[in-house]
Amino acid sequence: MEFAGQNAIVTGAGGGIGFEIARDLLLAGANVAMLDLKPEPAGIPDGPGRSLYLSCDVSDDDAVQAAVAAADAEFGGLQLLANVAGVLWFDRDRSALDIDLGLWDQVFSINLKSMVHMVRHSVPLMKRAGGGAMVHFSTIQCLRGDDAPQDAYQASKAGVVALSKSLAIQLASDRIRSNVIFPGPVHSPMQARWDNKPEAIESLAGIIPLGRIGAPKDLANACLFLLSDKADFITGTELTVDGGLMARP
């Protein structure tokens, strides 16, 4: 997939899945504005695309507006958006019956409202460019219950799906596509609890039909497909990338 001459914004690009998406877009020729609160990571490719790393709190509308404007000024437009930023706080996120409601609001602000900020400032640039594509990251956890619930995470990620479908219909006439990825278990910084625990990874891999947990590259491959012209007739839908886990009886 080639993205030469296209400009992208990737949130959560300071590590894990977001970094892998930004990296692959740069290697495929896109210019990429990488947004994150984390320090700029090592290993950003020198090209062929150009990169711009911006410190940005995506839950802050003013900060997002400034970051999108900076990307536009640097690259001269926008066609692609990957909304990857999000939080999963195992130690504090729990059942809605007893979760701290301030924490609930914070998770929703980062996981869902941030996407509202991103699209409201990005879409005008995509319209100016004559079209574009957006991919938003949810989770397979929003499709099922859990006896160890993270209700704020799951509910906020379910909202991502509803928002994406609405955007897909609203923006279809502008040739702007909107799709969602449902990641399954992925060994990324968000799942640092698996670090140095090969037995936990092996146990989880044993219930995944393809026999392994995911890697950030697996999600980047799916995201680049949905952003590319190869997915030109795909909008308003969800792609599950979980090694077959949700297909199990």
CATH code, domain carrying 197: 3.40.50.720
Q: Give domain status of residue 199, yes or no.
A: yes
Asked whether the beta carbons of 128 and 82 are under 8 A apart, the reply is no
Which helix (H) or strand (E) element contains residue 137? Answer: strand 132-137
Asked whether the beta carbons of 34 and 52 are under 8 A apart, the reply is yes
Give the confidence band of 22 by pLDDT, cuts at 50, 70, 90.
very high
pLDDT exceeding 70 applies to what percent of the chain? 97
Instruction: Give the residue ranges of DSSP H helices in 76-187.
Output: 101-108, 114-129, 151-171
Residues serving a catalytic function are 153
Q: Which long-range contacts (CB under 8 A, 24 or more apart) does 191-199 make?
A: 193/90
Q: Cα separations (Å) of 79 from 21, 67, 68, 207?
A: 15, 15, 12, 38
pLDDT at res. 145: 85
Q: Give domain status of residue 249, yes or no.
A: no
Cα 69 to chain centroid distance, Å, stands at 20
Q: Give domain status of residue 200, yes or no.
A: yes
Q: Six-digit token pair at 38?
A: 């984390």
In the predicted structure, residue 194 carries a pLDDT above the cut 70: no
Q: Give domain status of residue 230, yes or no.
A: yes
Q: Specify burial of residue 193 (Cβ count, 10 A radius: 0-12, 13-18, 19+).
A: exposed
pLDDT at res. 118: 98
Q: Give domain status of residue 168, yes or no.
A: yes
Q: Give domain status of residue 167, yes or no.
A: yes
Give the confidence band of 204 by pLDDT, cuts at 50, 70, 90.
confident
Asked whether the beta carbons of 34 and 8 are under 8 A apart, the reply is no
Identity of residue 100: D
Domain count for the chain, please give it: 1
pLDDT at res. 191: 61
Give the confidence band of 190 by pLDDT, cuts at 50, 70, 90.
low
Predicted structure pTM score:
0.95
Average pLDDT over residues 71-98: 95
Q: Give domain status of residue 246, yes or no.
A: no
Nearest-angstrom CA–CA distance, 122 and 26? 19
Q: Give domain status of residue 1, yes or no.
A: no
User: Which residues form the domain of 203?
Assistant: 7-241
Average pLDDT over residues 219-245: 98
